[in-house]
Chains A and B, each alone.
Chain A
Amino acid sequence: MHLKKLALTIMALALTLFLSGICSAGTLAEIVKRGELRVAVQSGAPPRAFVDKHGKHTGSMVEFAREMANRMGVKLKVLDFDWDGLIPALLSGKADILAADMTPTLKRALKISFTDPWTYVQPCIFTSTKKSYQTIEDVNKPEVTVGVLLGSTGETIAKKYLPKAKIKSYKGGGRMILQALVAGHVDAGVNDDMSVLTQMPDFPPNTIRLLDKRLGRGKDPLSFAVRHESVNLWQWINLYFKTIRADGTYDDNIAYWFESTEWKKEH
């Protein structure tokens, strides 16, 4: 009797979860009608997406999204999620666009559609200044523990390039790996160099350093993503990036956020 009730409750719960998913025909038309573009981001990753000292969502990616909303003639609504919540938020229709540090992978593309890459990053190995590692081979040893972010490209790359090292996966943003490194729980970490370089100043000076050689074959793309059925929105975003590359808006954004530290004064 007890078990039967339990099973029924679980089934009812599962059913509600599945029925709550929303199907829509034309996402773009819906956004214009609603007057609001909803974008899912993961804050805590300056300079791409973070909450500034005035409590405002900003960063390179968020500003691209804001400009998108401007050109659509609608308002922007930023929804902040943890990494694990991003794709479910997009799939359940809470957000129209996913704007996170997400690499388009074939596995992820089984669930969501990626736009053309808007920028490229380089995964790097970072370590404490107390360690003497110089090359990838120095880190690729059984006695070395490497911290990564669960589900990140850094995790995949670390497993590929450092197969002998012991990998520990953390959650809660790139800062957690640096924290674990400073605490001595890991000997090195793998993440994209832009994240590491912008988070390093938050830690005591001269505690963290990057190895000179970057990982991977050159550069790693980052893309915005939409639901599979939002084909019109997907085309619109690709056209948007072509347009702003042509009119200079794109270069201004990249120069402000990535090529100078001017933004640190204002945000």
Chain B
Amino acid sequence: MLADFNFRIIFEYMPLFLNGLKSTFLISIISIILALMTGIVACSCRISGIKIIKYPAIAYIEIMRSTPLLVQIYFLYFGLPTLGLRIPEIQTGILALMLNSGAYIAEIIRAGISSVDEGQIEAGVASGLNYVQRMRFIILPQALGVTVPPLLGQAIVLVKDSALLSLISVAELTRSGQTMTSERLMPAEAFFTVAFFYICIYLCLKTFSDWSQKKLIYREAY
């Protein structure tokens, strides 16, 4: 049966796959950066003592974490237009991934910050450092080092979640596989190739995270 595996067709469809890879990559990178920013903002609001920004942040984080991403995508794409706001599909996809991952990232960063020992903050206060200085020199350097591995995990989840965008007609990697399957009826070849490219993206992210983690720990040691 293995003899039926058709590599020629995979090469014939390579331009389609590379196009899909390109848009999955770009959508993911943009979404990861935006999600990181959203996460930092949401986390700062979440841990601040001011109630008027704390409670909306909690609501946002809990809503995003308790609803499926597909529901969020369908709501943004099919639901919002009936309420009078229409966003094109790629922007909808980036927005959904950003909002969804942002909530998880906020929680990851919050966990990182709360992992810093209380005594160190007290020592900072005792040394006369103000809030910003304590954050910059004591808490964040330690918190960031701890959060890099779970942030990478979230980035990988985001890349895989971007496959759902194929359902709102975004021409990304999974959609390339679906197109090839529907045109040539070769799901084994199509999704094998799609999986291969996802593994490539994963390995890139992993290399980057290993490198940045070393970098962070090295720099902060001095």
Q: Which positions 163-184 of chain B face chain A at CB distance < 8 Å?
A: 166-169, 175, 178-179, 181-184
* Nearest chain A CB to B56 CB, angstrom units: 28
* Nearest chain B CB to A203 CB, angstrom units: 11
Cα-based distance from A90 to B167 in the complex (angstroms): 24
Q: Give 12 pairs: A residue, B residue, CB < 8 Å, sorted on A.
A: A14-B192, A18-B5, A18-B188, A84-B181, A87-B187, A169-B169, A169-B175, A169-B179, A183-B77, A184-B81, A185-B77, A185-B86
B137 interfacial by beta-carbon distance below 8 Å: no
* Nearest chain A CB to B133 CB, angstrom units: 42
B166 touches A171 (CB 8 A): yes
B4 interfacial by beta-carbon distance below 8 Å: yes
* Nearest chain A CB to B196 CB, angstrom units: 8
Q: Which of A54-62, A105-113, A236-244 lies at the interface with chain B?
A: A105-113
**Size class of the B contact interface (CB-based, 8 Å):** 20 to 34
Cα-based distance from A180 to B184 in the complex (angstroms): 27
Residue in chain B with minimal CB distance to A88: B187
Residue in chain A with minimal CB distance to B179: A150
* Nearest chain B CB to A212 CB, angstrom units: 27
B78 interfacial by beta-carbon distance below 8 Å: yes
Residue in chain B with minimal CB distance to A83: B182
Chain A contacts for B166, CB-based, 8 A: 171
A185 touches B81 (CB 8 A): yes
Q: Which positions 185-222 of chain B face chain A at CB distance < 8 Å?
A: 185, 187-188, 192, 195, 199
Cα-based distance from A110 to B167 in the complex (angstroms): 27
Question: Knowing A18-B188, A172-B167 touch, does A151 contact B183 (C-beta < 8 A)?
Answer: yes
Chain B contacts for A172, CB-based, 8 A: 167
Please count the residue pairs between chain A and chain B whose beta carbons lie under 8 angstroms apart in the complex.
Answer: 68
* Nearest chain B CB to A20 CB, angstrom units: 9
Chain A contacts for B183, CB-based, 8 A: 107, 151
Chain A contacts for B82, CB-based, 8 A: 182-183
Report the count of interface residues on A (CB-CB < 8 A).
Answer: 31
Chain B contacts for A169, CB-based, 8 A: 169, 175, 179
Cα-based distance from A236 to B2 in the complex (angstroms): 32
CB-contact partner of B178 in A84, A108, A180, A182, under 8 A? A84
B86 touches A171 (CB 8 A): no
B89 interfacial by beta-carbon distance below 8 Å: yes
Chain B contacts for A147, CB-based, 8 A: 169
A14 touches B2 (CB 8 A): yes
Cα-based distance from A15 to B5 in the complex (angstroms): 11
Chain A contacts for B81, CB-based, 8 A: 183-185
B1 interfacial by beta-carbon distance below 8 Å: yes
